[in-house]
Structures are given as C-alpha cells and as structure tokens.
Homo-oligomer: A and B are copies of this chain.
Amino acid sequence: MASLSGSRPPLFVTLLLFLALALSAEAKVRRYRFHIAYKYKSPDCFQKLSITVNGQSPGPTIIAEQGDTVVVEVQNGLLTENTAVHWHGIRQIGTPWSDGTEGISQCPITPGETFVYKFVVDRAGTYIYHAHYGMQRSAGLYGLIKVAVPEGTVEPFAYDYDRSIVVNDWWHKSTYEQATGLSSVPFAFVGEPQSLLINGRGRFNCSLPSASGAVCNLTNPDCSPSVFTVVPGKTYRFRIACITSLSAISFGFEGHNMTVVEADGYYVKPFVVDSLYLYSGETYSVLVKADQDPSRNYWASVNVVSRKPDTPTGTAILNYYPNHPSRAPPTAPPAGPLWNDTAARLNQSVAIRAHPDHVEAPPAASDRTIVLLNTQNKVDGGHVRWALNNVSFTLPDTPYLVALKYKLKRAFDARPPPESYDYRGYDIRSAPPNPNATSSSSIYRLGFNTTVDVVLQNANTLNPNNSETHPWHLHGHDFWVLGHGAGKFDPSAHPAGVFNLVDPIQKNTVPVHPYGWTALRFRADNPGVWAFHCHVEAHYFMGMGLVFEEGVEKIGRLPDAIMGCGESKRLLRP
C-alpha cells in the first residue's frame, strides 16, 4: 500500500478493498493448532500430570464471529493415548464428522496423528470445547469458544467489557485410576473433587495428609488465584462456562447481583440472581455492574451443590481497580446457597425463558415422544452402571457415522432401544427393585425432519433416599426446554398442562433434578449421528447416554480421517 500513499486510489481499488473487507468480516476462516500433550501442572498447588492444549489447561480460547469457519488442527502428542475433541454447542450443520465424539462421529485420533476439525460457528454465543474420549476432559483437555455477533448486530443488553470464566472440578488421582475404580467390582467412585478451579486455578491445602508424598506448593504460580479486574461504575458481561466432571455448582460475586442474559448461546428473558446455579456443559452470560464499595476487592466463589460438599469453596478475586489485584478481600469467601435446596434449583431452571424479542417458538406438536427413566443398575457381573429404560449404553469400536453410512452391520446392536418404561408401575422414589440391566450399543433412529420430544425421568439410585442431578447434553442440535417438574412425569396427562410452548429457552444442555423430570423438544433436521448423554464424565462413562441418528442417507462421502478403526478397516482396499 506504500505506493498508493499520497495519491488517491482509483475507485475500483477502493471498491475491491471494501468488498474484500466486507466478505472477510462476514465469513473469516479462524485457524488454530492444538498440540495435545501431558504436562505437569499444579492448578490447585498439587502437582499432577494434566492433558494440555499447547501447554495450557484450560486451553486457548477460540474466538470467532458468527458465520466464520473454524479450522482446528488437533495434533495428538500423547504417548500411547488417543484423543478426540468435541465442540460443545456447535451444531455441525453439514459437518457431522467434525463433532469430535469418539465412537460416534469418528475413530480416535491416534498418537502422532493430526486431525483437522472444520466447522461453521453459525450462532453467536458462548461455547466449550473438550475431549470426548474416555475421561480425558477430567484430565484437563477443555477450553472456551466465544462467538461474537456479526458487526452491527445489536444484542438485547449492553455492557462495557466482556470477560470469560470457566469453572471445573479437579481430582488428584489420574483419570486412569478413576476409570479403573468405576469399572471395578467392587465399585470405587471417584468421590468428591479435591478442588474447584476458576479459569484453571484453585487451591489445595498442602498441609493435609493427602498431600504427603506429592509435590504440593502453595507458592507455585500455577495456583495463584484468577483475578477479574473491574473499573468502578462499569458493567461487565461475564461469560461463565461450567465444565465440571461431576459437580453441580453455585457461582457468585460476593456482594454483587448478576443479571442472566444468555444461556447456551440464546438470549434469556433477563432475571437477577445473587448466586447462579450451573450444571456441567452449560454456559451463561451475566451482567455485573461494579457498583460496590471500590476500596476493597471481592470474592468470586464457586461451591458444590446437589451433592453433599466435601470440597472447599473455589475462589477468584473480583479486583476493583486500582486496588492491588492480589489483595485478599477482608471477608470469608461466600459459602453459597444450601447444597440440598433442590426446589431453588428447580426454580432457576423454570425461570430461564427466551428473551421476549428473540422467541423462536417450538413446533406445536411432536411426532414422537421418548421417555427415558434413568436408573443406577448392576450389569455384567455386578458392575455399577447407569441405564436408560434399563439399557446401559456402550460405545462401539466403529463410529456409528461410518457404520451407518457404509452399512457395516456388525458394528453395533441394530435392535431399537426402548421408547419408554413402565411409568405407571415404577416407583421413582425407591432403589430399583431389580437392579439388573443390560448393556447395548443400540441407537434411536429418527425420521428426518420429524419433531421429537424427550422426557428425562429421574429416580432413586441404588442407595436409599438418593437421587442425583444429571445435566443432559444433546449434540448436533439445540432443543427447546418444554418443562421441568418434581416427581413423576405422566406422558398421558402432563403435556397439555405443563409444557411451555410460548417462550421456552433453547439450550444444548439441561439438568434433570433429583426425583424430577425435564422435557425437551427438537427437530431432527441435521443429518448425522448425535450423542445425547449425561455430561457428568463418570456417568457417561458408566453408560448414561444414547445416540440419535437422522438423515444419515443425506450425507456425502465421509472423510478418510474419521475412519480406520474397528469394522471400518473392512473398507481398506490397497
């Protein structure tokens, strides 16, 4: 451009430049390289081998604008372990092979290989990426995706600055040890996390006996608390992602209200809370005004809810400029709401509605209703597993997408899984009278472009007087949240009265509360094979999931890169 300086460029050059800029603003390609490797990290001061992206956990944030194409070259630098990375909340319209779900949309990426994920981020919002293989997400492979609205688009709320928060729970045992316990007889649960991490930082008490024999160092910079600096009087949008392995959490800024404005990429009818419940796989945006006494700092705090907590409050510092960022607030970190106040959590779930100016009404009726009772069971010689309608999900070693497209018949169980359970006879408040269940890789095949209702029915676990919270995540779609309820859902009576068909929020992840039910609706309009599962890492591992197929016949030739494992080796023709 130097040659043009001092003289006015001809009109056509100006026009071309304008067009080029306009086009690039509309649909940029955002390229990332993710090198996945083990690295020693001390996120809570306790040294542990973590799975990192480019040396970091959480990994780098992917930043894009609505309509952009994101290309991520994932290089597997693990020694003997495969991987696969899921782009949580991205629907993968037209790119079902880029969903990153091992066993479903692709073969695992073997060590040394580079797999290129390419997809369009078609909706603005706050999303997540994370490993979708074994329990690698728990080992640290996760991060954020921030998709901005197109330039010139006005969002239904205003703020001065945009900040991101990702919350995780953290164990000191390796995911190998955890998974071995989960699949052993007798069963050994992972237990409560040692720490809660905010943007990958927490704090463990190194003087505890359980830290002995380990490198635990409270002065390690890895575990210095996260700091969110705010300028008094300004309003902040905090994007908060919950990517916990197990814990449902409450999150708050000490002494500050939060106005909830976005959930899973959809605008919410604003509501104000002092503490926000989040479930694994959910994202929210909240607005916070820095309107408190500016002479001090405040805590950001995370606490476990729904399970009896045995984990210290996770903290970060809300730093009022110009106080020193590391100056501890003069107060104790808030303990958050009562852990076992199920009604309050149900209330929040019900309060989340679509923003009045952004309502997209659901189809008025569904073509099919699948009712899923989740129970804890004993399968295959006493292994504790989760089941849906008495079927515990097992992943095949050939991805469904490949098996269905190329008719590899031995790849999975072709018998359809059950559509419902004995909802009249089953007592959801007791442990299963017969704890036996079966394992299967069977899937739900959906009519293309049909509307599907799914009702998640919670129940008692194997232990008396215990029902857990399960955040369910659907791949390839957003769904309308038609309703939440306490107790047993009656598919013959409930829908007319209790479904919200007026302004339901759309989401990709939604909790089902203890002893409660959650109903959702979606259009099976995205050709592919899509997981739907509890987002608790251990629960999916223990069989709490299923797979939907729709329109697989509309998909063209699959990329070679997703194949090579299991039955897909039969497609080798050297």
The digit string for A543-574, where 1 denotes a CB below 8 A from any CB of B, is: 00000000000000110110111101111111
Contact of A81 among B80, B184, B563, B566 (CB under 8 A): B80
Restricting to A490-518, which residues have a CB under 8 Å from any CB of B?
none
Chain B nearest Cβ from A393, distance in angstroms = 14
Contact of A571 among B107, B176, B396, B574 (CB under 8 A): B574
A123-135: CB near B (< 8 Å → 1, else 0) gives 0000000000111
A113 B566 Cβ-Cβ under 8 A:
yes
Task: Judge whether B180 and A39 touch: CB under 8 Å.
Answer: yes
A210 interface contact, C-beta 8 A = yes
Cα distance A560–B213 in the bound complex, in angstroms: 47
A233 to B570, CA, bound (A): 59
Distance A397 CA – B557 CA, assembled complex (angstroms): 24
Chain B residue nearest in CB terms to A571: B574
With a cutoff of 8 Å between Cβ atoms, the chain B residues found around residue A111 in the complex are 82, 108, 134, 397
The A77-95 residues at the B interface (CB cut-off 8 A) are: 79-83
**A565 pairs with B110, CB closer than 8 A:** yes
Cα-based distance from A218 to B214 in the complex (angstroms): 21
**CA of A175 to CA of B133, assembled, Å:** 20
Decide if A3 is an interface residue (CB 8 Å cutoff).
no
With A and B bound together, what is the CA distance between A573 and B573 in angstroms? Answer: 6
Contact, CB under 8 Å: B574 / A134: no
Taking the closest CB of chain B, its distance from the CB of A409, in whole angstroms, is 14
In the complex formed, the residue of B with least CB distance to A47 is: B177
The B-contacting residues of A in range 444-464, CB under 8 angstroms, are: none
Residue from the list B79, B82, B574 in contact with A110, Cβ < 8 A: B82
Contacts of A108 in B (CB 8 A): 80, 110-111
Within 8 A of B (CB), among A296-333: none
Q: Which B residues lie within 8 Å of A174 (CB)? A: 49, 174, 176
Known: A81-B81, A133-B80. A574 touches B406 (CB 8 A): yes
Residues in B whose Cβ lies below 8 Å from that of A5: none
Across the interface, do A564 and B573 meet the contact criterion of CB distance under 8 Å? no
Q: Which of A171-202 contact B (CB under 8 A)?
A: 174-177, 179-180, 184
**Do the beta carbons of A564 and B561 come within 8 Å of each other?**
no
Interface residues of A in 51-92 (CB under 8 A from B): 79-83
Q: Which residues of B contact A110 (CB under 8 A)?
A: 82, 107-108, 110, 397, 565-566
User: Are B564 and A572 in contact, CB atoms less than 8 angstroms apart?
Assistant: yes
A40, CB-defined interface residue at 8 Å: yes
* A557 in contact with B574 given A49-B177, A110-B107, A174-B174 (CB within 8 Å): yes
Interface residues on A, range: 35 or more
Find out whether the CB atom of B572 lies under 8 angstroms from the CB atom of A79: no
Partner pick for A180 among B49, B210, B211, CB 8 A cutoff: B49
Q: Report the minimum CB–CB distance from A566 to chain B (whole Å).
A: 6
Contact of A82 among B80, B136, B212, B214 (CB under 8 A): B80
> Residue A135 contacts which of B39, B79, B405 (CB distance < 8 angstroms)?
B79
Taking the complex as formed, is A425 at the interface, i.e. its CB lies under 8 A from any CB of chain B? no
At the interface, yes or no: A152 with Cβ under 8 Å from chain B? no
Report the Cα distance A177→B175, complex, angstroms.
13
- Check: A386 CB closer than 8 A to any chain B CB: no
A472 in contact (CB, < 8 A): no
Closest-by-CB residue of B relative to A562 is B569
With beta carbons under 8 angstroms apart, the residue of B49, B134, B561 that contacts A79 is: B134
Residue-wise, chain A 30-56 has the 8 Å CB interface mask toward B (1 for contact) of 000000001110000000010000000
Q: Does A363 contact B (CB under 8 A)?
A: no
Contact in complex: B560, A180 (CB < 8 Å): no
* A209 part of interface (Cβ distance < 8 Å): yes
Q: Once bound together, how far apart are the Cα atoms of A214 and B106, in whole Å? A: 38
For A134, the chain B residues whose CB sits under 8 A away are: 79-80, 111
* Complex: A111 Cα to B49 Cα, angstroms: 21
**Minimum CB–CB distance for A370 against chain B, Å:** 27
Q: Indicate if A221 sits at the interface (CB-CB under 8 A).
A: no
Tell me if A112 counts as interface (CB < 8 A to partner B).
Answer: yes
Question: Interface readout for A376-401 with B: 1 if CB under 8 Å, 0 if not?
Answer: 00000000000000000001110000
A179 to chain B: closest residue by CB: B79
A565 to B209, CA, bound (A): 45
- The answer to whether A79 and B176 touch across the interface, beta carbons within 8 angstroms, is yes
CB distance from A108 to the nearest CB of B (A): 6
A136 to B80, CA, bound (A): 8
The reply to whether A40 and B574 form a contact with Cβ atoms under 8 Å apart is no
Contact pick for A563, options B179, B180, B564, CB 8 Å: B564
**The 3 A-B residue pairs with the shortest CB-CB distance in the complex, in nearest-first order:** A564-B564, A213-B213, A112-B397
Known: A80-B81, A80-B82, A112-B396. 8 other contacts (CB 8 A): A79-B175, A80-B108, A107-B110, A111-B397, A209-B213, A211-B213, A560-B569, A563-B564
Residue contacts A-B, CB under 8 angstroms, 28 given: A38-B179, A40-B184, A49-B176, A49-B180, A79-B134, A79-B175, A80-B81, A80-B82, A80-B133, A80-B136, A81-B81, A81-B82, A82-B82, A107-B564, A111-B134, A112-B395, A113-B565, A211-B213, A212-B212, A213-B214, A558-B574, A563-B569, A563-B574, A564-B565, A564-B568, A571-B574, A572-B572, A573-B573
Q: Interface of A with B (CB < 8 Å)?
A: 38-40, 49, 79-83, 107-108, 110-113, 133-136, 174-177, 179-180, 184, 209-214, 395-397, 405-406, 557-558, 560-561, 563-566, 568-574
